[in-house]
A and B are shown apart, each in its own frame.
Chain A
Amino acid sequence: MATVDLKDVRKIYGGKVEAVKGVSIAIPDKALCVLVGPSGCGKSTLLRMIAGLESITAGAVSIDGKVVNTIGPAERDIAMVFQNYALYPHMKVYDNMAYGLRNRGMGKEDIDKRVRAAAKTLELSHLLDRRPRELSGGQRQRVAMGRAIVRNPKVFLFDEPLSNLDAKLRGQMRVEIKSLQRALGVTSVYVTHDQLEAMTLADTLVVMNAGLVEQTGAPLDVYEKPASTFVASFIGAPPMNLLPTTALPASAGIPVPPGAQTVGFRPEDASIAPTDGGASGLEVSVEGVEPVGAESFIHSLLGGNRVILRAPGRTSVVPGDRLAIGIEPAKLHWFDGAGKRLS
């Protein structure tokens, strides 16, 4: 249906504040691209520029190969799902979905057909006569999705659509959004600050920080090979453990690559064993234990640096214990002084 291309896109507010500092992303047809990053990283601004709700200071946004910089939001053939749903409070569910179609001058029968089909897909058929305030959060979310899909647009834009739902519903809607997007095959851009949502939804994951793209790639590639210490600590829960290379005792016998300043490893990549009292290896002292059911997270200190370890199921480790940890050299991540990954 459509590709979305961003070429060196910039946004400067009031001639001073640079919110987006030159972002280039190519989103292939039918892909779901997730922009993830902490608040203030420019991800929402970027999405709003694609939507046409913000002007583009520099660079080019193209949809389906056509530069849309100067085209209004209604003519870009996009549909957007907002964080707070943005349903029209005085209109029934049916009219909420039909409004955009009516404005485009579509015939009554076509509108009816499309709205009913979308309502059926989203299991909203019995709610068409309700007003938004009579619906639960999840239902409102569905109506917002319905309003997007009736239009049959080239691109879906999602602006943190699940952040107002409770955790259980969020998980459920996440799966629904994913399967709906697959089924409709519409190119989508999805903004979130939730790394779990980002990992599970994305075909392409774009990690942003301070107005710049830190890394682009398939979610698991990003997880396994974070391009920077920022990505390493942002993707994954709990995050990757990052230590200065000086914290590794010489006795551990780990060869430090030249130029490396920071070493990282995932909690699940470290094996733990009771310390043998010997001088070899990495030794940590346990500060606290968080059992979450299927696994337990052990918060500990390694030479003054916080380290989180993972133990499967129940663990007999208690605060005050000392543990020896072992990590395969291949599972270590090395970063230079600027926080960039050393390959």
Chain B
Amino acid sequence: MTDAAARPEAQGTAVALGRREEGEMLGLSRSSRYLAHGLLIVGIVIVAFPIYYTFVASTHTLQTILRPPLPLLPGGEFFNNYYEALFGGIGRIGGVNVWTLLFNTTVMALAIAIGKIVISILSAYAIVFFRFPLRMTFFWLIFITLMLPVEVRIMPTYKVMVDLGLIDTYTGLTLPLMASATATLLFRQFFLTIPGELVEAARIDGAGPWKFFKDILLPLSRTNIAALFVILFIYGWTQYLWPLLMTNRNDMNTIVIALKKMVSFADADTQWHLVMVTSMLAIVPPILVVVLMQRWFVRGLIETEK
């Protein structure tokens, strides 16, 4: 129970963890570890090659791309192509530049991620910690929306948005995608693991419902929130069907929709080099979110801080 007694134990754990990372805990031999790495590398190459190829294409002129075969090494047009995409207007979608598209998509992804988290954490809080009439009814109402994905209810939702005059607005783009049974369930399950004693201790310590939420529940949920944010941001970023319906004006397009519009049926009309640049730019923000939040993301999936 003293410091000295606790320390060697901690070191012992560190040593054990170190060994586990080397695969000895699993009893892997040297050759099977090479095999495992080999398989992983093959997998990564398969997944990463199309992205690499897109990057290569984004550094060549349109003519090079249209005249097969496409080189496997980057060309010399990197700066020209990216400059044109970032600062020139892109002809096929009415001269809107990539910044506008990135801004729109960021707004949409952020609003969906944050909106979903706020709504679902509050509804889970109500369902788990408060006793009110029809509590379970509300829970099941939320639960059954799981069975109704956006695509199933897309026509009525579209009609409602049209009637409310929300076409070509950020509200219309994001609001219908916010209500989320999945996130509510996730928070509910997490809240259920919080011991009743903790709630009671807080009550005795004079923390009302709002203080308990702010001082205790939110800090305890932060890894869950982070993991959910990453998932939802990417969900919002890659939305296709809903923004396709909701946006008519080119300057309200998300980058995914703009990409679709940039590709025309006749190859010659399509500015493939700019399509490739835009593709690369569309990939960057989700990757940044994942990389920057990776530590939290993993902790949120594996750890409950209790």
Which of A's residues lie within 8 Å of B, judged by CB?
Answer: 51-53, 72-74, 78-80, 82-90, 99-100, 103-104, 126, 133-134, 136, 138-139, 147
Contact = CB atoms under 8 A, between A and B. Distances in A.
B305 A53 contact: no
Contacts of B219: 90
Contact of A80 (B195, B201, B211): B201
A99 B215 contact: yes
A99 B215 CA distance: 9
A89 B306 contact: yes
B163 to A, nearest CB: 46
Contacts of B198: 86, 88
Given A53-B200, A88-B198, A90-B220, A104 B305 contact: no
B268 interface: no
Given A84-B195, A99-B215, A100-B206, A136 B6 contact: yes
Contacts of B195: 84, 86
Given A74-B204, A126-B3, A89 B197 contact: no
Given A89-B220, A126-B3, A139-B1, A84 B197 contact: yes
Given A103-B205, A104-B206, A139-B1, A86 B200 contact: yes
Nearest to A142: B1
Interface string B210-221: 010001100110
A2 to B, nearest CB: 16
B211 A103 contact: yes
Contacts of B201: 80, 82, 86-88, 147
B203 interface: yes
B207 interface: yes
Interface string B187-209: 00000000101101111111100
A88 B194 CA distance: 11
Closest 10 CB pairs of A and B: A100-B205, A86-B197, A74-B206, A103-B206, A86-B201, A90-B219, A82-B197, A136-B1, A73-B204, A73-B203
29 contacts: A52-B203, A52-B204, A53-B200, A53-B203, A53-B204, A72-B203, A73-B204, A74-B205, A74-B206, A74-B207, A80-B200, A80-B201, A80-B204, A84-B197, A86-B195, A86-B197, A86-B200, A86-B201, A89-B305, A89-B306, A99-B207, A99-B215, A100-B204, A100-B205, A100-B206, A103-B205, A134-B6, A136-B1, A139-B1
> Which one of B3, B201, B215, B219 has the highest number of Cβ atoms from chain A below 10 Å of its Cβ?
B201
A134 B306 CA distance: 11
Nearest to A157: B204
A170 B200 CA distance: 24
Contacts of A99: 205, 207, 215
A304 B64 CA distance: 103
Contacts of A103: 205-207, 211
